[in-house]
């Protein structure tokens, strides 16, 4: 894992956007894996700015989102479908039908999950998967205890996640209990992962993910086995890392050809 600590979340978001822009400019038909939550919002803003001001085009890009709530109509303001449309898709030149989310309204969920996995394969696999991390170390909606080899499937949210996500719904009882999420095995097949984490309240999960043992108890720790993962942090989220100074030294000493600026 490459750990980069930026001065704040805006700077980290900008760097994440540069990494994505480089991929889109280098690869004719890039496939992006996208995430929801508050963490990637600064990065999405920067992508929209690059699209408007630096002619970064998404017309050949395909996207797959990590997860969706079960039983929430896509038109519901808290569905991940709505969130993605508001914060990103409606502001880019993506082709019609190029953006995919798991279907939380499917009658046959196992078949729909298998179809989602198949669609990722048909698209050529995910080139870059964007990720956040939950306070309990979850990736997408793979709660602690998830199989490190899991695929897209139905999951039950933990009380901790229901509580954390109730800020979007207004109250805990309005948060759906079930979700459809890409599995950890699905995420691990992405050619590159970029994980963002900000704020003091993520510091423990970040420490366990980067420096703890690889364990289903911290699903994010599976990324220690990923060949190409970049973790972008602010100083607060990096606050509990034992090797913090080392990560700062590595980034400060990078040769120019390894930078994105
Ligand atoms: C949600 C999402 C994750 C996200 C996490 C953190 O449960 N399913 O993909 O990374 O919560 O959310 P936030 O970025 O708002 O802290």
Q: What is the per-residue pLDDT across 114-170, written as a single tens digit (0 to 9) for each?
A: 999 999 999 999 999 999 999 999 999 999 999 999 999 999 999 989 998 999 999
Closest approach atom of ligand 1 to CA 37: 15
Q: Which of 184, 130, 108, 151 is nearest to 15 (CA)?
A: 130
Which pair of tokens denotes residue 60?
């050949």
Based on the residue annotation, tell me whether 138 is a catalytic residue of this protein.
Answer: yes
Residues 6+ apart with CB under 8 A from 210: 1, 3, 224, 231, 241
User: How far is 30 from 20, CA to CA, in rounded Å?
Assistant: 9
Pairing of strands 178-181, 153-156: antiparallel
Does residue 261 have a pLDDT over 80? Answer: no
Ligand 1 centroid from CA 140, angstroms: 7
Residue 259 per-residue DSSP state = -
CB 220, CB 184: distance < 8 Å:
no
Mean pLDDT over each residue of the chain, to the nearest integer: 97
Mean pLDDT (whole number) for 213-235: 98
pLDDT tens digits along 14-47: 999 999 999 999 998 999 999 999 999 999 999 9
Strands (E), the chain: 2-5, 31-34, 62-65, 67-69, 99-100, 128-131, 153-156, 178-181, 192-197, 229-233
CATH architecture of 2-258: 3-Layer(aba) Sandwich (3.40)
Q: How confident is the model at residue 248 (pLDDT cuts 50, 70, 90)?
A: very high
Q: Which of 46, 67, 103, 236 is catalytic?
A: 67
Based on the residue annotation, tell me whether 67 is a catalytic residue of this protein.
Answer: yes
Mean pLDDT (whole number) for 225-246: 98
Which pair of tokens denotes residue 105?
């309204």
Pairing of strands 2-5, 128-131: unpaired
Which pair of tokens denotes residue 131?
């990720």
Provide, rounded to the nearest whole percent, the portion of the chain with pLDDT above 90.
97
Best probe residue, ligand 1, of 13, 16, 34, 35 (max atoms within 8 Å of C-beta): 35
Which pair of tokens denotes residue 133?
């991390």
The pLDDT value given to residue 84: 98
What is the pTM assigned to this prediction?
Answer: 0.97
Ligand 1 centroid from CA 257, angstroms: 32
Q: Which of 46, 51, 138, 208 is catalytic?
A: 138
Based on the residue annotation, tell me whether 143 is a catalytic residue of this protein.
Answer: yes
Q: Which of 244, 236, 197, 233 is nearest to 218 (CA)?
A: 197
User: How far is 143 from 236, CA to CA, in rounded Å?
Assistant: 23
Ligand 1 centroid from CA 35, angstroms: 8
Best probe residue, ligand 1, of 9, 12, 37, 135 (max atoms within 8 Å of C-beta): 37
Backbone angles phi and psi of 30, in degrees to 5: -75, 145
Mean pLDDT (whole number) for 74-85: 96
The pLDDT value given to residue 42: 97
């Amino acid at each position: 894992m490459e750990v980069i600590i930026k001065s704040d979340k805006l700077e980290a978001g900008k760097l994440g956007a540069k990494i994505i822009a480089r991929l889109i400019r280098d690869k004719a038909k890039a496939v992006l894996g996208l995430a929801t939550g508050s963490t990637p919002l600064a990065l999405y803003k920067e992508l929209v700015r690059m699209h408007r001001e630096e002619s970064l085009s998404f017309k050949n890009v395909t996207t797959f989102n990590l997860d969706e709530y079960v039983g929430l109509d896509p038109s519901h303001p808290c569905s991940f479908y709505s969130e993605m449309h508001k914060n990103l898709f409606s502001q880019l030149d993506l082709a019609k039908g190029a953006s995919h989310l798991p279907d939380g309204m499917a009658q046959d969920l196992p078949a729909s999950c298998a179809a989602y996995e198949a669609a990722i394969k048909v698209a050529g696999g995910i080139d870059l998967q964007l990720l956040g991390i939950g306070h309990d170390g979850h990736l997408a909606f793979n709660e602690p205890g998830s199989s490190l080899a899991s695929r897209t499937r139905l999951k039950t949210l933990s009380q901790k996640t229901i509580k954390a996500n109730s800020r979007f719904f207004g109250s805990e009882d309005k948060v759906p209990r079930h979700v459809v999420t890409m599995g950890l095995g699905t995420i691990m097949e992405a050619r590159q992962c970029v994980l963002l984490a900000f704020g003091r309240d993520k510091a423990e999960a970040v420490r366990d993910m980067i420096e703890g043992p690889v364990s289903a108890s911290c699903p994010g720790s599976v990324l220690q086995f990923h060949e190409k993962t970049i973790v972008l942090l602010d100083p607060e989220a990096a606050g509990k890392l034992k090797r913090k100074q080392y990560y700062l030294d590595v980034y400060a000493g990078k040769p120019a050809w390894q930078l994105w600026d």
